[in-house]
Amino acid sequence: MILVYIETAEGKAKNVGLEMINAAKALTDKVAAVVVGAADEAVKQAASYGADEVITVNYEGYNTDAYCYIFKALVEKYSPEAVFVGGTLDGKDFAPRLAAKLGAGCVTDVVGTKKEDGKVVYTCPVYGGTVLNDMVVESPVAVAIIRSGAFKKADPLDAAANVVAEEISVPAEELKTKIAETVKEISETVNLEEAEVIVSGGRGMGAAENFALLNELADLLGGVVGATRAPIESGWISRAHQIGQSGKIVAPKLYIACGISGATQHVSGMIGSDYIVAINKDEDAPIFDIANVGIVGNVLDVIPLMIEEIKKAKA
Partner 1 sequence: MEILVCVKQVPDDSVEITLDKSTGMPALDKVAVITNAFDGYALEMATRFKEAHGGNITVVSVGPEKARDTLRNCCSVGANAAYLVNDAACENSDTYGTAYALSKAVAKIEAEKGVKFDIIFCGKETTDYTSSQVGPMLAEIMDIPQVTNIIALDPAEGGLSVKQETEEGYNMVDVATPCVVTVTKPSYDPRYPTMKSKMAARKVQIPDITAADMGADASLMGEAGAKCKVVKVFEPAKKEAGVKIKEETVEETVAKAVAMMSDAKVF
Q: Which of 22, 281, 53 is nearest to 153 (CA)?
A: 22
Neighbours of 139 (CB within 10 A): 12
Alpha-carbon distance 286 to 296, whole Å?
Answer: 12
Smallest gap from residue 93 Cβ to partner 1 (A):
5
Q: Which of 230, 271, 272, 265 is nearest to 244 (CA)?
A: 265
Q: Is residue 23 exposed (0-12), middle (13-18) or buried (19+ Cβ within 10 Å)?
A: buried
Of the pair 160, 315, the CB lying nearest partner 1 is at: 315
Smallest gap from residue 47 Cβ to partner 1 (A):
26
Strands 197-201 and 275-280: unpaired
Neighbours of 128 (CB within 10 A): 15
3-state secondary structure of 42: helix
Smallest gap from residue 194 Cβ to partner 1 (A):
14
Q: How far is CA 289 from the centre of its chain?
A: 25
Of the pair 45, 268, the CB lying nearest partner 1 is at: 268
Alpha-carbon distance 303 to 201, whole Å?
Answer: 11
Alpha-carbon distance 102 to 3, whole Å?
Answer: 14
Alpha-carbon distance 314 to 221, whole Å?
Answer: 10
Smallest gap from residue 298 Cβ to partner 1 (A):
8
Of the pair 138, 167, the CB lying nearest partner 1 is at: 138
Of the pair 30, 97, the CB lying nearest partner 1 is at: 97
Of the pair 33, 295, the CB lying nearest partner 1 is at: 295
Smallest gap from residue 315 Cβ to partner 1 (A):
12
Alpha-carbon distances of 138 from 20, 32, 36, 104, 119, rounded to whole Å: 21, 22, 28, 8, 9
CB 278 within 8 A of CB 262: yes
Smallest gap from residue 221 Cβ to partner 1 (A):
5
Of the pair 47, 277, the CB lying nearest partner 1 is at: 277
Smallest gap from residue 231 Cβ to partner 1 (A):
15
